[in-house]
């Protein structure tokens, strides 16, 4: 495929801003619109831009697949810890008499984990589709 100078130059400038915006959407997920899924999709587009610029950040996909598998177990473990503090599954693990500021830690952790899982999943799907059989 032909590659133009303008496209690669603008992709180089845009790349860090898209990364910052993706992390902003993930971390502010409980206050503003967006959250883990939307932020993860934005992060995935930021890393897929590097294929256009031809500055490959990712060398092999095996690490990404491992991260995705482990994040799935970590999400379930974080959701299960409420049985020790509150006595029931799949609720907030912070006790009820604490303040609201402390309770948002649960939402932050879950949003961050879901963002990592979505972004790594999308990147692995697209890279295997690009490099099929090569």
Partner 1 sequence: MNIIILLQVFLIIISITVITLKNNLKSVIFFSVFSLISALLYYFYRAPDLALAEAAIGSAIIPLIFIIAISKQKEFIVVLGSVEDSFLDIESKSGIGYKILEELTDYYQLKLVFLKDKNDISFEVFRVRNVDLFIYKEDKHYVFKGNPASTITNRLSKICGDYKDVKVKFVEEEHVYD
Could you list the residues that contact partner 1 (CB under 8 A)?
1, 25, 33-35, 37-38, 41-42, 44-45, 48, 122, 126, 129-130, 132-133
- Provide the minimum distance between the beta carbon of 113 and partner 1 in the complex, in angstroms, as a whole number: 18
Q: Which residues contact 100 (CB under 8 A, 6 or more apart)?
A: none
User: Which of residues 26 and 82 has its CB atom nearest to partner 1 in the complex?
Assistant: 26
Vertex 25 angle, CA 125 and 127, to 5°: 15
CB nearer partner 1, residue 42 or residue 110: 42
Instruction: For the CB of residue 95, give the shortest distance to partner 1 in the complex, in Å.
Output: 30
- Taking alpha carbons only, the member of 118, 102, 112, 104 closest to residue 26 is 112
Q: Which residues are CB-neighbours of 98 under 8 A, at least 6 positions away?
A: none
**Pick 82 or 112: Cβ nearer partner 1:** 112
| Phi/psi of residue 7, nearest 5 degrees | -65, -45
Q: Nearest approach, Cβ of 106 to partner 1 (angstroms)?
A: 20
Sole residue written with tokens 């177990």: 73
CB of 38 to partner 1, least distance (A): 4
């Amino acid at each position: 495929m032909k590659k133009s100078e303008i496209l690669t130059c603008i992709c180089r400038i845009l790349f860090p801003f898209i990364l910052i915006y993706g992390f902003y959407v993930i971390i502010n997920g409980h206050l503003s619109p967006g959250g883990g899924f939307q932020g993860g999709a934005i992060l995935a587009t930021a890393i897929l831009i590097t294929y256009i610029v031809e500055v490959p950040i990712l060398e092999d996909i095996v690490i990404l697949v491992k991260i995705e598998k482990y994040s799935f177990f970590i999400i379930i473990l974080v959701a299960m810890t409420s049985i020790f503090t509150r006595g029931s599954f799949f609720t907030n693990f912070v006790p009820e008499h604490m303040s609201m500021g402390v309770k948002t830690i649960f939402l932050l952790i879950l949003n961050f984990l879901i963002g990592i899982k979505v972004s790594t999943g999308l990147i692995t799907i697209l890279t295997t589709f690009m490099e099929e059989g090569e």
